[in-house]
Structure 1
Amino acid sequence: MMTWKSNFDETKKHYLDWWKGKGIVLSMWEHLFKEGEPYEEIPPPPRHKDINQFWFDPEWRSDYLHYRMSRNSYMADILPVANAQLGPGSLASLLGSELEGRDDTIWIHPKKDFDETIQFDEDNRWWKLHQDLLSAVKKRSEGKYMVGCPDLIEGLDVLASLKGPDNVLVDLILEPERTLEQLAEINKVYFDVFDRIYDIINMEGEMAFCYFSLWAPGKVSKLQVDLSIMISEEDFRHFCLPFLEEQTRQIDYTLYHLDGVDAIRHLDAVLELKELNGVQWTPGYGQPQGGNSRWYDLYKRVLAAGKSVMINWVTLDELEPLIDHVGNQGLHINVDFKSEREIEKALTIVDKYR
């Protein structure tokens, strides 16, 4: 695999160690442009005609991503991964929700006249788009970078996208058995779609995820239940944990995305997932970000349970105190880099602990 990342073999070793609870991965959220000349002189595509072309035209978007990937920095452990996502939770679109492109994201609207049936239609236009977009980006890459798995999401969050979170929360009380049946069906569709996507995007068996800077030598995914901030510990164990357990068993490498202070009450349950490899912490709106000392004990709690930890939006001045207090084993640190010079400074710090 000859990509534009010259130190990819070293980065892969860092990831292999991290999945086992060892060492440090130093990366960032997505990318910044490299200094100097691009890897290749790739012409930019013409400006998109409208927001729909920007998100939903496979040919245009593959050209756009190819241009950007030729100019991104892949220093440290930053991954050469094209972000071909179609919104957070795009699995819902394959079950009847509608996608709407916006300036900075894709919105997912509930399915009209949802009849409580979970059904995957092979002829669904959004499923066709998923396949066409991923295939176009993979072909355009010519092996010079990887294509990230879209942020499909699963479980209660998908059900909330289909019929609205309020309706889901009511049904946990009024229709618990039907909800469990729906969640089981969502998991079946998830595995079916995930495996087909893997077949499109994997490179020699290796896989990357579009967000959260993830690479693995096999199937890899980020798992989540953001709706968990609105349910009790008992309901989390009843409606979420069994399906998360199934995902961790069927996917080789998994990272749980713990989102928001109100989700911390579910951490003990998450840490009981034997096959789960790691936990990523997102503090949420109005809270200090991942490098703040407020979260040191949370990271130690995750590490003590035998899981690796991913820490996001760390500033350069927070990096060394973070490692000093949390340790130098099982850390994936995404720094909020602004330049390659900052990456070099961060490498100088991290290399002291490797």
Structure 2
Amino acid sequence: MAIDFSPERWAQVRETYRQWWADELERPIIPIELIGREPGRPQPAAPLLTQATCADFSYTPTQLVDRIDYELSRKVFLGDAFPWVNLDVFGPGVAAAFMGARLDNASGRVWFWPPQENQPITDIHLEYNPHNPWLQRVLDICAAAMERWQGQVLVGMTDLGGNLDTVATFVTTQQLLMELYDHPEEVERLTWEAHACWHRFYADINAILQPINPGYSDWSGIYSEQPCYMLQCDFAYMIGPQMFQQFVAPELRASCQRLPRTFYHLDGIGQLRHLDMVLSIPELDGVQWVPGDGKADCAHWPEVYQKIHAAGKKIQVINGGLDAVAAVIAQIGSMHGIQYHVESAPISAEKELRTRLAAFGID
């Protein structure tokens, strides 16, 4: 059986998100994927593309896309869900690999390492290379996906990462903390070099995806008819507001100005000190708050969501399920501007989940 998603349902997704981006939608956006639909064909031999398998180039892009197609055909899309490929499978911050960093997935998770150890920061230069093998692999997979699905499935942008995070890959995190004091002008130079490369990679990938791809998304799963991205700077949890203002905020705002729609990935309690500065960026559309490992889920941070909402920004709830969505609605006193990441459940839960969606006004 083919993937169960019609052009009419895509039209509904576009209209729902059009209203949401325009602050006209009177309910939250909640996508739910049910797993267990009969795919109607045997499982292909190619492995599922993951961080553990992304370095295996023995399978063609067509074979990898066929395996993804099989997995999507096993899903039922409830609420605001749509068939979507999350290309974070090359690791968080793959732009570093596109610039020459070493990609290591021997552990089953992708890590990035500098191509040369102990290199002085003055000798490091981040450059665009259109022939980089990792970039070419991503482009080839995107091309195969467009040929296969012809707009039925949305292929999300790779997890390009944050630009100061990319600098940390090449300089190393501990050394970068010292370079902020010792060579601030070199840190700024590298950040803007990374920025220039990042936006070229974004354009290169979209040149393959569009105009066939039915929209734009990334690892967040947020849909847009215009280019959008979940921007980030995970390195920022280790620095104070003054350094954030100097080394992060200018580049972050520049990216918000270059992209029509943007969110910020606020990762961990160490980043809460930067929230006011993030919210002060007028071009930023929303914030995804991630409490972090070992912390209470998204239902338990009313002061964070109230501040985001009061600033006129949208909210992505990343965990905690539908209970967390209900909690955030109660905390901010509104259903406007809320999107839940993606909820996955077995197909046996369909009846219960349809009932729960109806409580939010979702068919």
| SS class of match (1:153) | coil
| Residues 1:107 and 2:111 aligned together | yes
Counterpart-to-counterpart distance in 1, 2:17 and 2:335 = 14
**Contact 1:278–1:309 under 8 Å retained in 2:** yes
| Residues 1:4 and 2:23 aligned together | no
What amino acid is aligned across from residue 343 of structure 1 in structure 2?
L
Mean alpha-carbon deviation: is it higher for 153-162 or for 225-234?
A: 153-162
| Residues 1:323 and 2:324 aligned together | no
Quickly say closer, same or farther: Cα 1:22–1:231, change in 2 above 3 A.
farther
| SS class of match (1:209) | coil
| SS class of match (1:257) | strand
Quickly say closer, same or farther: Cα 1:17–1:179, change in 2 above 3 A.
same
Offset, 1:217: 0.9
Counterpart-to-counterpart distance in 1, 2:192 and 2:325 = 41
| Residues 1:303 and 2:309 aligned together | yes
Counterpart-to-counterpart distance in 2, 1:42 and 1:100 = 34
Counterpart-to-counterpart distance in 1, 2:43 and 2:345 = 23
Hey, what does 2:66 align to over in structure 1? 63
* 1:90-140 alpha-carbon deviations (Å, 9 max, x no partner): 000011112223575322222224531111222221121121122122222
**Contact 1:93–1:126 under 8 Å retained in 2:** yes
Offset, 1:335: 5.9
What amino acid is aligned across from residue 106 of structure 1 in structure 2?
V
| SS class of match (2:336) | coil
Computed over aligned residues only, the root mean square deviation of the Cα atoms, in angstroms, reads: 2.5
Hey, what does 2:137 align to over in structure 1? 129
| Residues 1:344 and 2:344 aligned together | no
| Residues 1:164 and 2:164 aligned together | no
**Contact 1:209–1:215 under 8 Å retained in 2:** yes
What amino acid is aligned across from residue 35 of structure 2 in structure 1?
F
Mean alpha-carbon deviation: is it higher for 317-326 or for 174-183?
A: 317-326
* Aligned counterpart in structure 2 of residue 142 of structure 1, from 142, 150, 153: 150
Hey, what does 1:27 align to over in structure 2? 31
Offset, 1:317: 3.7
| SS class of match (1:118) | coil
What pairs with 1:192-231 in structure 2 (closer than 5 Å)?
A: 192-203=200-211, 206-231=214-239
| SS class of match (2:129) | coil
**Contact 1:257–1:282 under 8 Å retained in 2:** yes
Quickly say closer, same or farther: Cα 1:49–1:43, change in 2 above 3 A.
closer
* 1:305-354 alpha-carbon deviations (Å, 9 max, x no partner): 111010111234444343233221111123644233443133112118x9
Structure 1 length as normaliser, TM-score?
0.89
What amino acid is aligned across from residue 240 of structure 2 in structure 1?
S
What amino acid is aligned across from residue 97 of structure 2 in structure 1?
S
| SS class of match (2:187) | helix
Number of matched residues? 345
Hey, what does 1:173 align to over in structure 2? 181
Unaligned runs of 5+ in 2: none
Counting aligned pairs with the same residue, the percent is 26
Quickly say closer, same or farther: Cα 1:333–1:244, change in 2 above 3 A.
same
* Aligned counterpart in structure 1 of residue 263 of structure 2, from 255, 270, 289: 255
| SS class of match (1:123) | coil
* Aligned counterpart in structure 2 of residue 333 of structure 1, from 321, 327, 340: 340
Counterpart-to-counterpart distance in 2, 1:81 and 1:297 = 32
Counterpart-to-counterpart distance in 2, 1:179 and 1:164 = 12
Counterpart-to-counterpart distance in 2, 1:238 and 1:264 = 17
Counterpart-to-counterpart distance in 2, 1:182 and 1:144 = 39
| SS class of match (1:73) | strand
Offset, 1:149: 0.6
**Contact 2:155–2:213 under 8 Å retained in 1:** no
Counterpart-to-counterpart distance in 2, 1:268 and 1:75 = 35
Hey, what does 2:295 align to over in structure 1? 287
Counterpart-to-counterpart distance in 2, 1:102 and 1:143 = 34
Quickly say closer, same or farther: Cα 1:342–1:169, change in 2 above 3 A.
farther
Counterpart-to-counterpart distance in 2, 1:318 and 1:103 = 32
Hey, what does 2:45 align to over in structure 1? 46
Counterpart-to-counterpart distance in 2, 1:216 and 1:66 = 22
**Contact 2:150–2:212 under 8 Å retained in 1:** no
